């Protein structure tokens, strides 16, 4: 079973991360959770799932923390400026919009992180348009997101490969 989530990202970099990494991460977490104990044993499967949980929580918590800091900064800066002097740019269209089917609850945490990073980039862009942050700060947020999600993706890929290797019997020529 899976749940359907309609997702929409506006920043191209964040959308790219979602499109590129989310599927394998969800598949890996689901597969190891479902089959890992039979192939790896209870202890090893538990260790792998704990590692996933740690990576996912670090990703989500970091995204939410950065977004919340940007929210506070945006509110403070906006309160200091007269409304007519504050510029609020808008996205012309979404960069990624589709329905995704999620097989494991941990993937929802990854989505929470992606949404938080998308909002972070939006807030930082508004601040940049108003001269409060530099483009470098926006680029850092995008880079940090990609780096953190890449760690989860790499672990997901190597975990699936390891699971597959252990599942197949070794045949000698």
pTM: 0.90
Among 84, 164, 67, residue whose Cα is nearest residue 121: 67
Q: Distance between CA atoms of 154 and 33, rounded to whole angstroms?
A: 17
pLDDT at residue 17, as a whole number: 94
- Asked if pLDDT for residue 158 goes beyond 80, the answer is yes
Residues 6+ apart with CB under 8 A from 172: none
Mean local confidence (pLDDT), 58-85: 91
Q: Which two tokens stand for residue 16?
A: 């790219």
Other C-beta atoms within 10 Å of 110: how many? 27
**What does the pLDDT look like over 78-128, one tens digit per residue?**
888 876 788 899 999 999 999 999 999 999 999 999 999 999 999 999 999
Residue 101: phi, psi to the nearest 5? Answer: -110, 120
User: DSSP for 86-133?
Assistant: ------SS-SEEEEEEE-SHHHHHHHHHHHHHHHHHHHHHHHHHTTSS
- Asked if pLDDT for residue 168 goes beyond 80, the answer is no
Residues 6+ apart with CB under 8 A from 58: 148
Other C-beta atoms within 10 Å of 88: how many? 11
Mean local confidence (pLDDT), 7-17: 95
Work out whether the CA dihedral 134, 136, 138, 141 comes out positive or negative: negative
pLDDT at residue 164, as a whole number: 81
pLDDT at residue 173, as a whole number: 64
Strand ranges, E, within the chain: 3-9, 96-102
């Amino acid at each position: 079973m899976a749940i359907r989530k309609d997702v929409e990202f506006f920043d191209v970099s964040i959308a790219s991360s979602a499109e590129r990494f989310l599927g394998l991460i969800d598949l890996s977490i689901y597969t190891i959770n479902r089959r890992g104990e039979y192939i790896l044993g209870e202890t090893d499967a538990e260790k792998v799932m704990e590692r996933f949980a740690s990576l996912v929580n670090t990703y989500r918590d970091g995204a939410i923390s950065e977004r919340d800091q940007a929210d506070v900064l945006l509110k403070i800066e906006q309160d200091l400026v007269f409304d007519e002097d504050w510029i609020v740019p808008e996205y012309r269209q979404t960069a990624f919009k589709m329905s995704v089917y999620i097989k494991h609850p941990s993937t929802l945490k990854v989505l929470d992180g992606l949404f938080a990073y998308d909002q972070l980039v939006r807030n930082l862009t508004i601040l940049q348009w108003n001269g409060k942050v530099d483009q470098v700060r926006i680029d850092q947020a995008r880079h940090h997101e990609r780096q953190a999600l890449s760690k989860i993706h790499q672990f997901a890929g190597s975990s699936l490969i390891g699971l597959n290797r252990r599942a197949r019997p070794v045949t000698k020529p």
